[in-house]
Amino acid sequence: MSDGSSYAVPTEYLNWNLGVVLIGIGITGALFGLATAQLGVYVRQYWKDDRVFLRVLVSTVWGLDLFHLCLYAYSLFYFLVLEHNNFAGQQILPWTSNAQTFVNACLTAMVQAFYCIRVWSLSKQVATVIGLGIIIAANWALGIVLFAESLMATSVEALAMLGDFSVAMSSVTAGTDIIITVILVLLLYTSRSSGSSHRSKRLIRKLMFYTINSGLLTSICALLSLITNVTMVTTNLYVLFYYIGARLYTVCMIASLNARQGLRAHIADATGITTFPYIGTVPEHSGSTHVTGGGRIRAPRSYTTLFGIRREPAISLDGPATPLTPTTSKARALEPEPGSNVGLRRVHTLTLPTRTQ
- Mean pLDDT check: name the lowest of 13-17, 56-60, 199-203, 348-352: 348-352
Domain boundary among 210, 229, 258: 258
Residue 108 half-sphere exposure toward CB, CA atoms < 13 A: 32
Task: Give the domain CATH number at 73.
Answer: 1.20.1070
Domain count, the chain: 2
The confidence score (pLDDT) of residue 269 equals: 57
pLDDT class of 55 with cuts at 50, 70, 90? very high
Q: Coil, helix or strand for 290? A: strand
Domain-located, residue 263? no
Domain finish residue from 258, 287, 307: 258
Q: What DSSP string describes 155-186?
A: SHHHHHT-HHHHHHHHHHHHHHHHHHHHHHHH
In a domain, 19, yes or no: yes
Give the pLDDT of residue 41. 93
Pairing label, strands 295-298, 289-292: antiparallel
Q: Give yes or no: residues 166 and 294 share one domain.
A: no
Over range 191-204, report the average pLDDT: 66
Lowest-pLDDT choice from 184-188, 190-194, 315-319: 315-319
pLDDT digits (tens, 9 = 90+) for 240-251: 888 898 899 999
- Report if residue 266 sits inside a domain: no
Across 20-24, 66-70, 73-77, which has the greatest mean pLDDT? 66-70
Residue 39 maps to a domain: yes
Tell me the CB-side half-sphere exposure of residue 1, using CA atoms within 13 A: 10
| 200-235 pLDDT tens trace | 677 777 778 778 877 888 888 888 888 888 888 777
Percent of the chain with pLDDT over 90: 23
Q: Assess whether pLDDT exceeds 70 at residue 277.
A: no
Mean pLDDT of 36-45: 94
Q: What is the domain extent for residue 195? A: 7-258
- Indicate whether 180 belongs to any domain: yes
- Please provide the DSSP assignment of 113-127 as one string: HHHHHHHHHHH--HH
Do residues 254 and 302 both lie within one domain?
Answer: no
How buried is residue 338: exposed, middle or buried, by Cβ count under 10 Å (0-12/13-18/19+)?
A: exposed
Q: Domain for residue 265, yes or no?
A: no
Q: Are 274 and 198 in contact (CB under 8 A)?
A: no
In a domain, 268, yes or no: no
**More confidently predicted of 143 and 317:** 143
Q: Band of the pLDDT at 140, cuts 50, 70, 90? A: very high
* Whether residue 232 is found in the same domain as residue 351: no
- Those residues whose C-beta lies under 8 Å from the C-beta of residue 184, and which sit 6 or more positions away, are 115, 118, 119, 122, 211, 215, 306
Measure the CA–CA gap between 247 and 30, rounded to whole angstroms: 9
H or E element that contains 198 = helix 198-231
Looking at the structure, tell me whether residues 109 and 210 fall in a common domain. yes
* Greater model confidence, 197 or 51: 51
* Domain edge (last residue) among 199, 232, 258: 258
Q: Which of 54-63, 145-154, 157-166, 314-323 ranks highest by mean pLDDT? A: 54-63
Give the residue, 306 or 159, on which the prediction is more confident. Answer: 159
Are 234 and 103 contained in the same domain? Answer: yes
**Residue 199: which pLDDT band, with cuts at 50, 70 and 90?**
low
